[in-house]
């Protein structure tokens, strides 16, 4: 049999269901692949070999008993380390949580287990999901399998790289300002941000509560849809969870894969179609638009005048919420405590713990958020950003009266070399220029590979109305059928 690590999740599930291979064999092949290449890629912060093999053996046992298993039973999945996994280290790539083992599972982890998927381990990321390159991981960056000297995107660079390195066929990411889509774009993989409230945040270590959205990462659109269907849906433990079923994203992906987009109206975001992006990115995007037209889609240009304020609004709202969300890391109940010499006061110990436990980007954002919420600045910063958020939502609403989905490049530039954007934080923030508006609006968006620029992957972003996640899967699958998937060089 050919190498299972090169197969899609759908193919693997098919082979396991038909008995041609076992879940244990599949898990072993992926664990061996991780052992072989992860020293170079560093996609994983923790590999749970024992747990993965036990879960796989359980799937095999259930299958042999004739139990009916879900469509992804036995398929391995990698989980971003910002998601709580019972008894398995969960650090959010921060020193402040080093060694912490949650006493509970996130809702989506429960659902992954319930669906019979096999969790391989926890993937690397920017600390507390703050960053666009994984360079802010306290445990060292992840290297892009396309070029080990370049960033894999962020914050979910580990999840995306694990797919591009064939260490896992599926991964879970979280998207606050583009942390699923931008890594997907720069690693040539698929990353979907579901509608906010369409996937549960219970157990997701909060960065920005009103923006954080867990979602699927995969190498194909159909695989992403299959994973989306497993983790999505209402969760009573998350007050912001939408009490409606997720649209049938799998059917939509399969419909799109037929390559027919007749009657579908695409809107190119005028503000994102040229300025600020690398020429190679623009070229790949334009070629893909033409390909979509050939499939029958109608393309128009749509103006979203407030999108240019999305980045500033985001960098006020997200740090504000983060400054409050991260207050709980104080060295009292869990995680790191430093400077407790028996003489220092609690206040001193807390401050030393937080200074030592948090990395520079996290500290910058805590200070920025504290500033934006302070009395005297609240109205001009946080308050104004919340109003701009309303205007961005209105831009989306009126755009979706004209078109079915909006399209743009996922990120203005391809994977950049390590260290090239860390000196000036704002240059790093520009990575998320095109992805952020969706988060402020709350709708779904997906990044799908659409070609190469200077030998590196370019991502194509499709944005849909809230709770119309199926629409973006249809268009994404159609594009995938036209341009094909990307294969990285051998490691």
Partner 1 sequence: MAAISREEVAHLARLSRLAVTDEELDRFAGQLDVILQSVARIGDVAADDIPPTSHSVPLTNVYRDDVVQPCLQQDDVLAGAPDAAEGRFRVPRILDEEE
Partner 2 sequence: MSTTVLPSYEDATARYEPVIGLETHVELGTNTKMFCGCPTEFGAEPNTQVCPVCLALPGALPVANRAGIEATIRIGLALNCDIAEWCRMARKNYFYPDMPKNFQTSQYDEPLCTDGYVDVEIDGETVRIGIERVHLEEDTGKTLHVGGATGRIHGATESLVDYNRAGIPLVEIVTKPVPGIGAKAPEVAKAYVTELRDIIRSLGVSDVRMEQGSLRCDVNTSLNLPGEEWGTRTETKNVNSLRSVERAVRSEIIRQASVLDAGGRITQETRHFQEDTGDTRPGRSKETATDYRYFPEPDLVPIAPDRAWVAELKASLPERPSVKRARLREEWGISALDMQSVANAGAVELIEQTIAAGASPAGARKWWMGELARRANETGVELAEVGATPAQVAQLQALVDEGKLNDKLARTVLEGVVAGEGDPAQVMAARGLGVVSDTGALQAAVDEAIAANPDIAAKIRDGKVAAAGALVGAVMKTTRGQADAKTVRDLILARLS
Which residue ranges make up the site for partner 2 (CB under 8 A)?
83-84, 90, 92, 97, 100, 102-104, 106, 201-206, 208-210, 236-240, 320-321, 323-324, 327-330, 332-334, 346-347, 350, 370, 373-375, 378, 382
In angstroms, give the least distance from the CB of 85 to partner 2: 10
**The pairing of beta strand 445-453 with beta strand 298-302:** unpaired
Site membership for partner 1, residue 348 (CB under 8 A) = yes
What is the side-by-side strand order in the sheet with 44-47? 44-47, 118-123, 76-80, 170-175, 213-218, 190-193, 445-453, 456-463, 405-409, 265-269, 298-302
Check: CB of residue 215 under 8 Å from CB of residue 180: yes
- In the bound complex, what is the minimum distance in angstroms from residue 367's beta carbon to partner 1? 5
Give the helix, strand, coil percentages of the chain, each rounded to 5: 45, 15, 40
Q: How far is the CB of 304 from partner 2 (least distance, A)?
A: 24
Establish if 375 lies at the interface with partner 1 (CB under 8 A). no
Bridge partner list, 83: 204
Q: How far is the CB of 130 from partner 2 (least distance, A)?
A: 15
36-65: contacts with partner 1 (CB under 8 A) = none
Say which entry of partner 2, partner 1, none residue 135 contacts (CB below 5 to 8 A, set by partner kind): none
Q: Which is nearer to partner 2, 8 or 353 (CB)?
A: 353
Residue 254 in contact with partner 1, rule: CB under 8 A: no
How many other C-beta atoms are found inside a 10 Å radius of the C-beta of residue 99? 10
CA–CA gap between residue 43 and residue 78 (Å, rounded): 9
Q: What is the DSSP string of 180-230?
A: THHHHHHHT-EEEEPPTTSB--TTBPPSSTTT-EEEEEESSHHHHHHHHHH
Restricting to residues 419-438, name those near partner 1 by CB under 8 A. Answer: 424-426, 429
- 42 torsion bin: left (phi>0), alpha (psi -120 to 50), beta (else): left
Q: Minimal CA–CA distance to 444: which of 415, 475, 413, 414?
A: 475
92 binds partner 1 (CB under 8 A): no
Residue 95's nearest CA partner among 332, 362, 322, 333 is 362
Binders of partner 1 among 437-456, rule CB under 8 A? 440-442
Q: How far apart are CA 373 and CA 323, in angstroms?
A: 9
Q: Which two tokens stand for residue 240?
A: 């912001």
- Is 378 among the residues that bind partner 1 (CB under 8 A)? no
Q: Which of 40, 101, 294, 328 binds partner 1 (CB under 8 A)?
A: 101
Catalytic residue of the set 94, 132, 155, 408:
155
Single residue of 366, 456, 463, 478 touching partner 1 by CB under 8 A: 366
Per-residue x/- mask for partner 1, residues 173 to 212, rule CB under 8 A?
Answer: -----------------------xx------------xx-
- Would you call 241 a catalytic residue per the annotation? no
Query: Is 155 part of the annotated catalytic residue set?
Result: yes
Residue 154 interacts with partner 1 (CB under 8 A)? no
Least Å from the CB of residue 392 to partner 2: 17
179 among known catalytic residues:
yes
Query: Applying CB under 8 A, which of residues 53, 70, 95, 100 lies at the interface with partner 1?
Result: 100
Which sequence positions are flagged as catalytic?
A: 80, 155, 179
């Amino acid at each position: 049999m050919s190498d299972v690590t090169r197969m899609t999740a759908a193919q693997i599930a098919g082979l396991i269901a038909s008995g041609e291979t076992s879940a244990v064999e599949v898990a072993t092949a992926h664990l061996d692949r991780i052992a072989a290449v992860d020293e170079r890629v560093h996609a994983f912060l923790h590999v749970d070999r024992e747990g993965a093999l036990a879960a796989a053996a359980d799937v095999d046992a259930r299958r042999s008993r004739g139990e009916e298993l879900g469509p992804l039973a036995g398929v391995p999945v990698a989980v971003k380390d910002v998601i709580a996994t019972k008894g398995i280290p969960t650090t959010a790539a921060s020193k402040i949580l080093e060694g912490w083992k949650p006493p509970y599972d996130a809702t989506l982890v429960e659902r992954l287990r319930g669906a019979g998927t096999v969790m391989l381990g926890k993937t690397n990321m920017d600390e507390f999901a703050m960053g666009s390159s994984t360079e802010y991981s306290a445990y060292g960056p992840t290297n892009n399998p396309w070029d080990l000297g370049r960033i894999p995107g962020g914050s979910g660079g580990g999840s995306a790289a694990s797919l591009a390195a064939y260490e896992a066929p599926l991964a879970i990411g979280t998207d606050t300002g583009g942390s699923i889509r931008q890594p997907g774009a720069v690693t040539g993989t698929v990353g979907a941000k579901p509608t906010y409230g369409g996937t549960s945040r219970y157990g997701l270590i909060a960065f920005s509560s009103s923006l954080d959205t867990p979602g699927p990462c995969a190498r194909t659109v159909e695989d992403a849809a299959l994973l989306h269907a497993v983790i999505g849906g209402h969760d009573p433990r998350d007050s912001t969870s939408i009490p409606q079923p997720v649209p049938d994203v799998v059917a939509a992906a399969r419909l799109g894969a037929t390559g027919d987009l007749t009657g579908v109206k695409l809107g190119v975001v005028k503000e994102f179609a040229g300025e600020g992006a690398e020429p190679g990115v623009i070229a790949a995007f334009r070629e893909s638009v033409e390909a979509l037209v050939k499939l029958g889609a109608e393309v128009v240009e749509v103006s979203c005048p407030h999108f240019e304020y999305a980045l500033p609004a985001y960098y006020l709202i997200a740090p504000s919420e983060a400054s409050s969300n991260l207050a709980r890391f104080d060295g009292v109940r869990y995680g790191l405590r430093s400077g407790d010499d028996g003489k220092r006061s609690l206040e001193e110990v807390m401050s030393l713990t937080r200074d030592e436990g948090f990395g520079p980007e996290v500290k910058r954002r805590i200070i920025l958020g504290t500033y934006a919420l302070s009395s005297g600045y609240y109205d001009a910063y946080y308050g104004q950003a919340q109003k701009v958020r309303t205007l961005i939502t209105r831009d989306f609403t009126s755009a979706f009266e004209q078109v079915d989905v909006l399209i743009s490049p996922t990120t203005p530039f391809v994977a950049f070399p390590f260290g090239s954007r860390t000196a000036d934080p704002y240059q790093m923030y520009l990575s998320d220029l095109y992805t952020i508006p969706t988060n402020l609006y709350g709708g779904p968006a997906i990044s799908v590979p659409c070609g190469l620029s200077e030998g590196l992957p370019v991502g194509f972003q499709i944005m849909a109305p809230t709770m119309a996640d199926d629409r973006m899967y249809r268009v994404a699958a159609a594009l995938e059928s036209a341009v094909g998937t990307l294969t990285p060089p051998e490691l």
